[in-house]
Amino acid sequence: MQIVKEEGPITGEQIAERLHLTRATLRPDLSILTMSGYLDARPRVGYFYAGKKANSVISERLHKLLVNDYKALPIVVQESASAYDATVTLFLEDVGTLFVVNQKGLLVGVVSRKDLLRAAIGNKALEEMPVSIIMSRMPNIITCLPGESLYSAAKKLIDFQIDSLPVVRESEQDPRQFELLGRITKTTIAKAFVELGEESEV
Amino acid sequence: MQIVKEEGPITGEQIAERLHLTRATLRPDLSILTMSGYLDARPRVGYFYAGKKANSVISERLHKLLVNDYKALPIVVQESASAYDATVTLFLEDVGTLFVVNQKGLLVGVVSRKDLLRAAIGNKALEEMPVSIIMSRMPNIITCLPGESLYSAAKKLIDFQIDSLPVVRESEQDPRQFELLGRITKTTIAKAFVELGEESEV
């Protein structure tokens, strides 16, 4: 490691020479260091220090988890529903965010517990208020794709300070509109975090 | 690895003998394999196969993250506050959960956006409703300690289906009561998840 750090890129033969070992003796060690991500190897160039620690194992793993494998079912309300209907659905389904869809089932908005609480402490009756007035509306909605990494989805939740992301695909009829495939929430991320922590116990 | 898998527990000397190497030559390799979690070593017993993969590196890392290093400031209301005051605080501080404290600053309850929304759609005026009627009350509150792992806190959030955990320590005056040190929420966990995913880019 020291040799590679100071002199890399350096070939396996040169390292063996420096250590007074044969190439063959050294080979398994170099494989392990390469597999563990401490060293990187390029053909005809040699070994170089990858600057990686155990952390990179974690990071790489997180980047491989896919939204599609973690998404939960999306809970929806029609855009014609009232804010009261939406609140009832929120409690019945025990979620923090609802996706609002049009008659074709395409995503038109997102309404959260926070939006509904804000409406409820205002003085209007929720029964007479259409959910479409208080929802966040397309295209101002942050979405994610099924093939996206869970890391990327988590970063959107944090960066945009939201609790839930709709998982979408472009509508075949109109690529500016989205079909709903699922949801990724902070709960999804916390569950994935717990699963990662449990893996060694298997 | 093969030798240890098949014959472990086996001492370093025995492995060296099998490979026609000296103990000294072998030592660094065994250290790396032990540090990486592939092998485990016990004094006077020898090396044995730990049955661990990259996953255990992740899991071990998660178990080392401490609540104390990730906790956010707790946002509190007095138990004498009204549900309306609590709602205003929730919006001003932009949090999903408030901790309710008594005059000594000790934790007496927890009130969430969900509790307040439920109250708001009921027909009573929030201004006249004390927050203490709608809050969850001690001792029915799940808490965590500063020295606890973030993994353990995340597991509580998932297992008990809550959004926020107060970080507490026992009161010096009365060990059945708790002082508030901070909060761990699903946002905290999602942030930690994103940080872990970013580490290789450093």
**CB contact at 8 A, B91 and A118:** yes
B56 shares contact with chain A (CB less than 8 Å): yes
Q: Distance between CA A115 and CA A108 in Å, rounded?
A: 16
Closest C-alpha among A21, A59, A15, A18 to residue A33: A15
B121 shares contact with chain A (CB less than 8 Å): yes
Question: Is the pLDDT reported for residue A23 higher than 80?
Answer: yes
**CB contact at 8 A, B150 and B164:** no
Residue of A nearest to B84 (CA): A121
B201 located within any domain? no
What are the two backbone dihedrals, phi and then psi, of residue A110, each rounded to the nearest 5 degrees?
-135, 135
A124 located within any domain? yes
Identify all chain B residues contacting A120, using CB atoms and an 8 Å cutoff: 117, 120-121
The percent of residues in chain B predicted with pLDDT above 70, rounded, is 94
Residue A179, sorted as left (phi over 0), alpha (psi -120 to 50) or beta, turns out to be beta
Q: Are residues B6 and B29 in the same domain?
A: yes
Question: Is the pLDDT reported for residue B43 higher than 80?
Answer: no
The percent of residues in chain A predicted with pLDDT above 90, rounded, is 62
Q: Are residues A45 and A72 in the same domain?
A: no
Question: Is the pLDDT reported for residue A15 higher than 60?
Answer: yes
CB neighbour list of residue A78: distance below 8 Å, 6 or more residues apart: A100, A101, A102, A103
pLDDT in the model for residue B129: 95
Q: How many CB pairs under 8 A join A and B?
A: 149
A66 to chain B nearest CA, in Å? 13
B84 located within any domain? yes
Q: Are residues A45 and A71 in the same domain?
A: no
Question: Is the pLDDT reported for residue B162 higher than 70?
Answer: yes
B59 shares contact with chain A (CB less than 8 Å): yes
Q: Give the pLDDT band (50/70/90) at residue A42.
A: confident
If one counts the domains in chain A, the total is 2
Question: Is the pLDDT reported for residue A51 higher than 70?
Answer: no
Q: Are residues A37 and A81 in the same domain?
A: no
B160 shares contact with chain A (CB less than 8 Å): no
B21 to chain A nearest CA, in Å? 10
Q: Are residues A72 and A48 in the same domain?
A: no
Q: Are residues B22 and B76 in the same domain?
A: no
CATH code at position B8: 1.10.10.10
Closest C-alpha among B118, B97, B131, B93 to residue A120: B118
A151 to chain B nearest CA, in Å? 6
Q: Distance between CA B201 and CA B137 in Å, rounded?
A: 44
Q: Are residues B94 and B28 in the same domain?
A: no
Q: Are residues A103 and A12 in the same domain?
A: no
The owner of tokens 């998932």 is B158
Q: Are residues A82 and A7 in the same domain?
A: no
Q: Distance between CA B14 and CA B20 in Å, rounded?
A: 10
Closest C-alpha among A44, A38, A34, A45 to residue A8: A45
B26 located within any domain? yes
Inter-chain touch B32–A33, beta carbons under 8 Å? yes
Dmax (CA) of chain B: 84
Inter-chain touch B32–A36, beta carbons under 8 Å? yes
A54 to chain B nearest CA, in Å? 7
A126 shares contact with chain B (CB less than 8 Å): yes
Q: Are residues A161 and A124 in the same domain?
A: yes
Question: Is the pLDDT reported for residue B53 higher than 60?
Answer: no
Q: What is the pLDDT of residues A87-128, one digit of tens each?
A: 999 999 999 999 999 999 999 999 999 999 999 988 678 999
CATH code at position A124: 3.10.580.10
Q: Give the pLDDT band (50/70/90) at residue B201.
A: very low
pLDDT in the model for residue B202: 39
What are the two backbone dihedrals, phi and then psi, of residue B31, each rounded to the nearest 5 degrees?
-60, -45
ipTM greater than 0.95:
no
Q: Least CB-CB distance to A151: which of B52, B158, B194?
A: B194
Q: Output the six-digit token pair for B81.
A: 């506050």
Q: Distance between CA A119 and CA B101 in Å, rounded?
A: 27
Q: Distance between CA A146 and CA A181 in Å, rounded?
A: 8
For residue A46, CA distances in Å to A8, A23, A198 come to: 8, 13, 37
**CB contact at 8 A, A50 and A38:** yes
Q: Are residues A100 and A139 in the same domain?
A: yes
Q: What is the pLDDT of residues B77-118, one digit of tens each?
A: 999 999 999 999 999 999 999 999 999 999 999 999 999 999
- Which residues are registered as beta bridge partners of A167? A144, A182
Residue of A nearest to B192 (CA): A193
A60 located within any domain? no
Q: State the residue range of the domain holding B36.
A: 2-52
Q: Are residues A25 and A88 in the same domain?
A: no
B36 shares contact with chain A (CB less than 8 Å): yes
Q: Distance between CA A174 and CA A201 in Å, rounded?
A: 47
B144 located within any domain? yes
Q: Distance between CA B195 and CA B180 in Å, rounded?
A: 26
Average pLDDT, chain B: 90
The owner of tokens 């259409």 is A130
Chain B interface, mutation test: which of A35, A56, A193, most B Cβ atoms within 10 Å?
A193
A141 shares contact with chain B (CB less than 8 Å): no
**CB contact at 8 A, B174 and B105:** no
Q: What is the pLDDT of residues B179-199, one digit of tens each?
A: 999 999 999 999 999 999 887
User: Is the torsion defined by CA of B47, B48, B49, B53 positive or negative?
Assistant: negative
Q: Give the pLDDT band (50/70/90) at residue B149.
A: very high
Identify all chain A residues contacting B184, using CB atoms and an 8 Å cutoff: none
Q: Distance between CA A50 and CA A69 in Å, rounded?
A: 30
A43 located within any domain? yes
Considering just the CA atoms, what is the radius of gyration of chain A in Å? 25
A110 located within any domain? yes
Q: Output the six-digit token pair for A157.
A: 């939740």
Inter-chain touch B200–A54, beta carbons under 8 Å? no
